[in-house]
Structure 1
Amino acid sequence: MMCSVYTTTGKNKVLGEAAMSKQEYFKNALSDFTFEAASGAAIRHLADLGYTAKQIAERLTYPAPYERVQRAVWEHLVDTGVLLLKEPGSEVQKRQVTYVKEYGKYGRASLRQIVLADDGKELPCWKKYCFQENNKEDFSAFLVERCMKSGEEFSYAACDFGLRLKKEPKKFMDALQVLDHRQQDYILGLPWEEKIVYHRLNLRMRDIVICLHENGWECEACYFGGQ
């Protein structure tokens, strides 16, 4: 006679793992809520003022792990458009094409095609520029001129810092030595992803890109938007 033995060990194990997973979820959610309530607004405010992640971590009323501060700064820069995770202009989904009538110098009428976003605002036409390493003076002058013409909001530099740091960390760190300490802190204080990302060419990043390029770092590409 054979007897069948029913065991609940496997079932209990699954239930236990589910309970642990749920407990971990709520634990992380509580941790995120506490971090946001204590430091979130302060981190974003200081980041907007130009402080590096290192400086922000030193100024927080409630101490937080440096890695969390770095991530919070990164997410804020992405949310505010200072950092783009995709090529400038490629994120637009809803848009429409229309035409506007313009008049030339001698009163001759012509039609110009424009692209509108779903909110009716005209979208910029993005242009990509690549530069050779030996054109140092031309690069600096061109970058300043284009940033002034397009405006900071429509000027970006492609950054491969995350890729270089992963591939050749020592060479990457050596290359940053041409920057001043605050510029180095800014670059090293961001958790760069291992892909090309795009940083707005505000004054800080413009100076960083120009300095690196003048010292042999080949700029991946720059993007400028205009009508």
Structure 2
Amino acid sequence: QDFAHLVEQISEGIKEGRWTTILGDDVSGRLPALVIGKIIARYNREHGINPPKRIFFAGGSINYEDVPDEDLPSPEKNEQNIQERQQKLETYIQDQSKNLGDRVLIVTEHVVGGRTVRRIGKILNREGINFDVASLWSTKRASTLKTILEHEEHNIFDQTQFFIGQENAGASDPFGSHISGFLYDLGVPLNEATGIKKDGTGPVAKLNKEADRDLVKLARQKVREMADEIYLKSFNEK
């Protein structure tokens, strides 16, 4: 399973207390970041280490689901909106930078072109914050992704480690029967169970008031169960 494989890859870093903050990519990356955050927090608590902070940012595309078709922006305007979010995100990270600690783990659901990772990496680098990247799946191998980003953004990703649950993937079902199947039976897309949605060009997501709160609670319960199961398999020290 992709998730278990990803946790296996980052397990040594968890044991070393490598990450002081989990930086989750909303919206699709929120549940993965919650699972990984819970696993790291549990290990840290059981070994006398402070649990990592968890912070979320709005990466990826702009959300236009509430915009009528006739009002959708042109490609040029959409690019301007993305640049606006980038500026707001930079300010947001600057405001948070003193609380991020020594090293950040960026958690996202997938990496295709690496645009979101590149944006957030450049901001963290400017703030002098070290970071690694954990993704449930990618269309590329971790080594290939690192090589591409190092070539495109000199001196930003040199010290960054990339952890990918499933490499060379066209898509992935990271939660398997744990969560995705559970939600599928209810006819609910995974993102609707997060209880949040992107807020225009804002750097952070906002509460989705239309979300079914009972469903969100059920999804969070499934996240806790999954985190506990993976933790016991990965860190059940005898």
Q: Same fold, TM exceeding 0.5?
A: no
Kindly indicate whether structure 1 or structure 2 has the higher relative contact order, using CA contacts under 8 Å at least 6 residues apart: 2
Structure number with bigger Rg? 1
Using the size of structure 2 for normalisation, the TM-score is: 0.24
Using the size of structure 1 for normalisation, the TM-score is: 0.25
